[in-house]
Structure 1
Amino acid sequence: MVVLSAVFLLGTVGNGLVIYFAAFRMKRTVNIVWYLNLAIADFVYSSFQPLSIVYLAHAHWPFGTFMCKVDSIFRNMNLFASIFLLTVISLDRCVSVLFPVWCRNHRTPKLASFVALGVWLIAFVFSLPYLMFSEIGENKKGNMYCYNNYGNGTSVKQLNHTGTVVMKFIFGFAIPFILIISCYSIILLRIRRNHMTTSSKPFKVAKAVIISFFVCWFPFHVFSFVDLATSYSDDFHLLCATVIGGSLSYSLMFLNSCVNPFLYFFLGQDFKVQFRTSFQAIFEKVFTEESVQLDSHSNTRSTSESHIVLAKFPVQGC
């Protein structure tokens, strides 16, 4: 409950500020489109936390079947959208480094908006199973609870349960994680080969992106498989591991929705300088795209994105 309360307050306020500045106070660019959609996904996820707080406080779901399904699909859709957007941002940066001329001619905010819309549609499709399985039940004490009903019969339940866990792991972690690592590896190799920077900060920031993504999501998927095993087993040790480890892994997963704005602030520019500026100036420094002219015949490249210099990368966090 403490973690959920913190996520609700920090996530709604932090992402709300990002949405306000990105949508109403800043020029629309490709980067702004990515960060705006990412902030919307995290904001919606954070805004649903009061339902879980009430649920945990009273050990009772008082909101009915409809809200049980709405809560389930919105949570999963925004989780998928957030992860997919992080992957798209990495791919976008990689393409900008590899094909700068094509990006100058075709990489536009309008195209980015269509890609973001596609991300939301794909996230919705991946969330449909949770909409179908979400139901409410009643325990022996007469309290209602919201849960995933995977069907009738042990074999059917196990098959559906396994399918959703494996699907979320493959498409919600494994593939995005591989793509993010691959993109940043290509970018760093290109920087080293072309001697674009002599600072060690770009490599530290890129490493932070990968590590933070892994730390927030890998434990959650590990204990999803543990929970899958305990659901059809009477092993006491597995049950204990699920209860203890599952709580910790869920806490890390919840923090995903509120950590990004703080990473923008602390890692986007020097903290002491940013602290003296307005919030708008902070986000502008983090998000604004610059023009870096590099001659291709002297180990340099031309690009319209400052994110080629990874020292200016806003870390997208967990």
Structure 2
Amino acid sequence: MKNTTALTNLPINNSYPDPPGFHYDYEYDEEAYMFEKTLRKRLNIVPMIIYSLAFLLGVIGNGLVIFIAGFRMKRTVNTVWFLNLAIADFAFTFFLPLSIVYIALDFHWPFGQAICKLNTTLAFLNLYASVYLLTIISIDRFISVFWPVWAQNHRTPRLAFFVALGVWILAFVLCSPNLYFRDTAPDYHDPKKINCYSKYSSPREHHAMTISRFIFGFVIPFNIIVICYGAIVLKLRRNQLTESNKPFKVITAVIVAFFVCWLPYHIFSFIELKAREDPDLGLVLIIGVPLTTSLAFVNSCLNPILYAFMGHDFKERLRYSLFSAFESAFAEDSSQSLVTNKTRSSVELDSQGV
């Protein structure tokens, strides 16, 4: 009995990090395949446009952040965090033209197996590095607010550098399975075309990859982030330190952008797992996966825009230089210094017996 949809059985793949398509030996429904292929071609113009914009904005914007935070500004803990975020986004957006070409050639991959593996691995290296850097930033904010004196004495750019290095190592470990599963092979319907796809030998492997990505790339880090920032807000309100500070707003905007951009991708990853059991989901995936994946990719070019526009007195500072506008966004959080000063004052008063 033939499957009623070709989507979940096709060994062909596309430019998405882990797109619909298993590599199982099932029968094919040729009519369903042709319908889906035609629909996919019509929809692919959307990711091509979005990828192109993400490439231009991401390379220019993140390149500018790397130049300013890495070479023009005094090295602080915050500049270390933002510099590493920019490096992760820059590395990913720099390789986006490969995905654009892949779509333009109707999913023919001319770049070889090694680049196929590298391209997808970079996508998920960006995912893990970004979300865990955001997690570290939230922990850094938490420590600075609850233990300000310790933070003042031990919170150094050197320590931040080693923590960031640890994040990169963790991110590489988490994304490394893509080096194994990603592969190239001739297209089932057109042997002259080479597809770059995720070669899962069983549904269990696909389930394991999707679930682990959701847990380690979304659930765990975002629970930590929510707990840290929730505690910070309560602490600042209790101490009446609710003055508006732009650096705090900058990182909040970055976190919200990451959540909005990546959550739909994870949702559709789970819908994909159900597609083999429910053929009616095939059409949903054909439409939804390109859109949600494009949204996830857009996140890599958003951060520099948020840094600039969320910076203190952006319009006023932009009159002098873009460097000044970015500098305000990367400044140390004023709430941290307020808590530190208040704690020091309390310690001094206690030592004087007041």
TM over 0.5: yes
- Which residue of the partner structure matches residue 32 of structure 1? 79
- Which residue of the partner structure matches residue 38 of structure 2? none
* Structure 1 Cα separation of the partners of residues 260 and 347 of structure 2: 34
* Structure 2 Cα separation of the partners of residues 188 and 144 of structure 1: 52
- Which residue of the partner structure matches residue 263 of structure 1? 306
- Which residue of the partner structure matches residue 172 of structure 1? 217
Q: 1:37-56 residue pairs with structure 2 within 5 A?
A: 37-56=84-103
Cα deviation digits, residues 67-118 of structure 1 (max 9, x gap) = 1111121221122111111111111111110111111111111111111000
- The counterpart of 1:116, out of the listed 144, 164, 174, is 164
Classify the secondary structure of the residue corresponding to 1:136: strand
Confirm or deny: 8 A CA contact 2:250 2:307 kept in the other structure.
no
* Structure 2 Cα separation of the partners of residues 26 and 202 of structure 1: 16
- Tell me how far 1:205 sits from its aligned partner: 6.5
- Which residue of the partner structure matches residue 143 of structure 1? 193
User: Aligned letter for 2:121?
Assistant: I
- The counterpart of 2:329, out of the listed 276, 279, 286, is 286
* Structure 2 Cα separation of the partners of residues 23 and 194 of structure 1: 35
- Give the total of aligned pairs: 294
Q: 1:4-43 residue pairs with structure 2 within 5 A?
A: 4-43=51-90
- The counterpart of 1:81, out of the listed 115, 120, 129, is 129
Give unmatched runs, 5+ long, in structure 1.
152-156, 302-318
Classify the secondary structure of the residue corresponding to 1:269: coil
* Structure 2 Cα separation of the partners of residues 278 and 300 of structure 1: 41
Confirm or deny: 8 A CA contact 1:135 1:147 kept in the other structure.
yes
Q: What is the TM-score when the length of structure 1 is the normalising length?
A: 0.86
Confirm or deny: 8 A CA contact 2:62 2:86 kept in the other structure.
yes
Classify the secondary structure of the residue corresponding to 1:294: helix
- The counterpart of 1:128, out of the listed 159, 163, 176, is 176
- Which residue of the partner structure matches residue 233 of structure 1? 277
* Structure 1 Cα separation of the partners of residues 194 and 91 of structure 2: 25
Is the deviation greater in 287-296 or in 69-78?
Answer: 287-296
- The counterpart of 1:186, out of the listed 194, 206, 231, is 231
Classify the secondary structure of the residue corresponding to 1:196: coil
Confirm or deny: 8 A CA contact 1:45 1:79 kept in the other structure.
no
User: Aligned letter for 1:83?
Assistant: V
Change (3 A) 1:181 1:197: same
Higher relative contact order (CA 8 A, sep 6+): 2
Q: 1:152-163 residue pairs with structure 2 within 5 A?
A: 157-163=202-208
Q: What is the TM-score when the length of structure 2 is the normalising length?
A: 0.78
* Structure 2 Cα separation of the partners of residues 223 and 181 of structure 1: 23
- Tell me how far 1:159 sits from its aligned partner: 0.8
- Tell me how far 1:233 sits from its aligned partner: 3.5
Larger radius of gyration between Structure 1 and Structure 2:
2
Classify the secondary structure of the residue corresponding to 1:295: helix
Confirm or deny: 8 A CA contact 1:18 1:36 kept in the other structure.
yes
Change (3 A) 1:205 1:188: farther
Confirm or deny: 8 A CA contact 1:265 1:271 kept in the other structure.
yes
* Structure 1 Cα separation of the partners of residues 162 and 252 of structure 2: 29
- Tell me how far 1:275 sits from its aligned partner: 2.7
Cα deviation digits, residues 152-176 of structure 1 (max 9, x gap) = xxxxx21110011001100101111
* Structure 2 Cα separation of the partners of residues 204 and 13 of structure 1: 23
Confirm or deny: 8 A CA contact 1:29 1:108 kept in the other structure.
yes
Change (3 A) 1:296 1:250: same
- Tell me how far 1:201 sits from its aligned partner: 8.2
User: Aligned letter for 1:223?
Assistant: F
Classify the secondary structure of the residue corresponding to 1:259: helix
Report the aligned-residue RMSD. 2.3
- Tell me how far 1:288 sits from its aligned partner: 2.6
User: Aligned letter for 1:251?
Assistant: S
- Tell me how far 1:197 sits from its aligned partner: 2.4
- The counterpart of 1:71, out of the listed 112, 116, 119, is 119
Give unmatched runs, 5+ long, in structure 2.
1-47, 349-354
